Amino acid sequence: MSKYLFGNLVTAYGTAANNRGESEGNITTLQKILWKGEAYSTVSAEAIRWALRYYWQQTGYPVNRFWNEEKEDHEWQDRQWLPWTDPEGKGKDKEVFIDDDLLGFMLAQAAKEEGSDKKGKCDKRRGVLEVTRAVSLTPFAGDITFNAMSGEKGRTSLYGTELHATRYQFGFALTPDGLRNRENVNPAIDGLVSLRQVGGNHSRFLFDFSPDSVVFRVTSDFAPRILYGFECNQTGNVLSMKSILEKVEGKDILPEELIIGGKIVDSLSEEDRKTLEGAQLLKGVRMAAESVKELV
For 83-143, the DSSP string reads: HHH-TT-TTTTSPPPHHHHHH-EEEEE--SSTTSS---EEEEE--SEEEPPEEESS-----
Name the residue with higher pLDDT: 190 or 73.
Answer: 190
Q: Rounded to an integer, what is the distance from CA 69 to the centroid of its chain?
A: 21
Are 210 and 189 contacting, i.e. CB atoms less than 8 angstroms apart? no
Q: For residue 240, is pLDDT > 90? A: yes
Average pLDDT over residues 244-270: 97
State how far the Cα of 196 lies from the Cα of 47, in Å rounded to an integer: 11
The more confidently predicted of residues 228 and 157 is 228
Residue 53 pLDDT class (50, 70, 90 cuts): very high
Better pLDDT: 94 or 84: 84
Residue 115 has pLDDT above 70, yes or no: no
Long-range contacts, 64-67 (Cβ 8 Å, 24+): 64/97, 64/99, 64/100, 64/105, 65/99
pTM for the full predicted model: 0.88
Place 43 in a pLDDT band, splitting at 50, 70 and 90.
very high
Q: What percent of the chain has pLDDT over 90?
A: 60
Q: For the segment 129-183, what is each residue's pLDDT rounded down to a tens digit?
A: 999 999 999 999 989 888 777 766 667 777 788 899 999 999 999 999 999 999 9
243 pLDDT exceeds 60?
Answer: yes
Residue 66: other Cβ atoms inside 10 A: 16
DSSP H helices, the chain, are: 45-58, 82-85, 98-103, 185-192, 242-249, 270-275, 285-295
Residue burial 26-40, b: 16+ Cβ < 10 Å; e: rest? eebbbbbeeeeeeeb
Bridge pairing between strands 156-162 and 27-28? parallel
Angle, vertex CA 88, rays to CA 87 and CA 90, nearest 5: 115
pLDDT of residue 148: 75
Q: Do 9 and 214 meet the contact criterion of CB atoms below 8 Å apart?
A: yes
Higher per-residue confidence, 108 vs 32: 32
Average pLDDT of the chain to the nearest whole number = 88
| Confidence (pLDDT) at 252 | 97
Sign of CA dihedral 10, 15, 19, 25: positive
Please tell me the predicted confidence (pLDDT) of residue 219.
97
How far is residue 98's CA from residue 49's CA, in Å, rounded to a whole number? 12
State which residues form the domain around 196. 4-111+119-295
Backbone angles phi, psi at 84, to 5 degrees: -105, -40
Query: What's the farthest any 2 CA atoms get from each other in the chain?
Result: 71
Of 177, 164, 99, the closest CA to residue 131 belongs to 99
Average pLDDT value for residue range 198-207: 68
The dihedrals phi and psi of 55, each to the nearest 5 degrees, come to -60, -45
Angle, CA 188 vertex, CA 187 and CA 191 arms, to 5°? 80
Count of domains for the chain: 1
Q: Alpha carbon of 279 to those of 131, 231, 250, 254, 275: distances in Å? A: 24, 20, 15, 8, 9
pLDDT value of residue 231: 94
Give the residue with greater pLDDT, 23 vs 88: 88
